[in-house]
Chain A
Amino acid sequence: MSCFILFGCGANSNLGTNEEKPVEITKISSTKKGTNQDLANQAKDYLSNKQNITSVNAVNTSKKLVIAVEVPHHERFQLAKTRKDLQDELKKKFSKVEVELSTDQKIVLELKKLEEKLQKGSMKKKDLEKEVDDIISLSKEQT
């Protein structure tokens, strides 16, 4: 039993050193007019400078910006507060568009897929809008 406790303590004390790990982001360089991802890239830059965020995925249309962030596992206790604070901050920063921030694993996965599609350049404006709307409605789903 004591072994477990010792290992547990050891793991905790290492947490401080991991903070300098780079944040996972992939910027999308979509040159098409309808699927321009400048806003999403700005949001990624802004969030990746923050502490306690391990990865950021974001996609935007002309009216909506949807972002998914991941936090380190031990920070998940304050997940609701972190989400609210970030959402408020980003709403102020990007006041021209509708900002939707999520910490949900499913939204992270969906945004990653969408980013890959955008990176390939095979996306039309209408498809992008539909996909973003679907993701936003998925993130608002309750039990």
Chain B
Amino acid sequence: MADKKKKNVPPSAQQYQSFQDKREVKRPIVKNCIKAFFVGGFICFIGQLISTFYIHFFNFTEQTVGNPTIATLIFITMLLTGFGVYDRIGQFSGAGSAVPVTGFGNAVISAAIEHRTEGFVLGVGGNMFKLAGSVILFGVFSAFVVALIKTILIQWGGL
């Protein structure tokens, strides 16, 4: 694929491309992965603390504690996004802060803040799920596909 593309560009551009490849600062993939691993793990650790808190002090079981935990995490993210702290965490850790549910919260809230000036209906309301909409869409779609596969396996595969 890459070679095919290269054939279509003029030789001067190819030359420039190889020159650029040499000079370009390499992405520290391993370092980024480690950062993402630890920051993501830390967010999940906080989530676990919140769940344990709800189990001990409120009437939630391990089955039902997920909902208030997620709500609390998103509420904390809302404050952090509003104060501009979550952006910095996101810059530092990348996927580590985007993959947990806090990343979803950040996507919704930052879009709402960004479009505040366009009014509440067409601005905030219309654009709030601009980024998170695709998360919901593909989340629901992949859940549907997985459910379909599971149903087929159980009904016909005898699992």
Chain A residues with CB under 8 Å of chain B are 1, 104-107, 109, 138-139, 141-143
A106: contacting residue among B34, B61, B66, B67, CB under 8 A: B61
Tell me if B59 is interfacial: C-beta within 8 Å of chain A. yes
Give min CB distance, B69 to chain A, whole Å. Answer: 11
Query: In terms of DSSP, what is the predominant structure of the interface of chain A?
Result: helix
Within B54-70, the residues touching A (CB, 8 Å) are 55-56, 59-67
- Which residues does chain B contribute within 8 Å of A106, judged by CB atoms? 55, 59-62, 65
B56: contacting residue among A1, A107, A109, A139, CB under 8 A: A109
User: Number of contacting residues on B, CB 8 A?
Assistant: 12
- Which residues does chain B contribute within 8 Å of A138, judged by CB atoms? 59, 61
27 inter-chain pairs at a CB distance below 8 angstroms, sorted by A residue, are: A1-B34, A104-B61, A104-B62, A104-B63, A105-B55, A105-B61, A105-B62, A106-B55, A106-B59, A106-B60, A106-B61, A106-B62, A107-B61, A109-B55, A109-B56, A138-B59, A138-B61, A139-B61, A141-B61, A141-B63, A141-B64, A142-B63, A142-B64, A143-B63, A143-B64, A143-B66, A143-B67
The list of the 6 closest CB pairs from A to B, nearest first, reads: A106-B61, A104-B62, A104-B61, A106-B55, A143-B64, A141-B64
Most chain B beta-carbon contacts within 10 A, residue among A1, A105, A106: A106
Chain A proximity mask over B26-68: 1 for CB below 8 Å, otherwise 0: 0000000010000000000000000000011001111111110
Residue of A nearest to B58 (CB): A106
- Which residues does chain A contribute within 8 Å of B62, judged by CB atoms? 104-106
- Which residues does chain A contribute within 8 Å of B61, judged by CB atoms? 104-107, 138-139, 141
- Which residues does chain A contribute within 8 Å of B59, judged by CB atoms? 106, 138
Known: A107-B61, A138-B59. 12 other contacts (CB 8 A): A106-B59, A106-B60, A106-B61, A106-B62, A106-B65, A109-B55, A109-B56, A138-B61, A142-B63, A142-B64, A143-B63, A143-B64
Per the bound structure, the CA–CA distance linking A1 and B60 in Å amounts to 37
Residue of B nearest to A109 (CB): B56
Residue of A nearest to B56 (CB): A109
Residue of A nearest to B59 (CB): A138
Give min CB distance, A103 to chain B, whole Å. Answer: 8
- Which residues does chain A contribute within 8 Å of B65, judged by CB atoms? 106
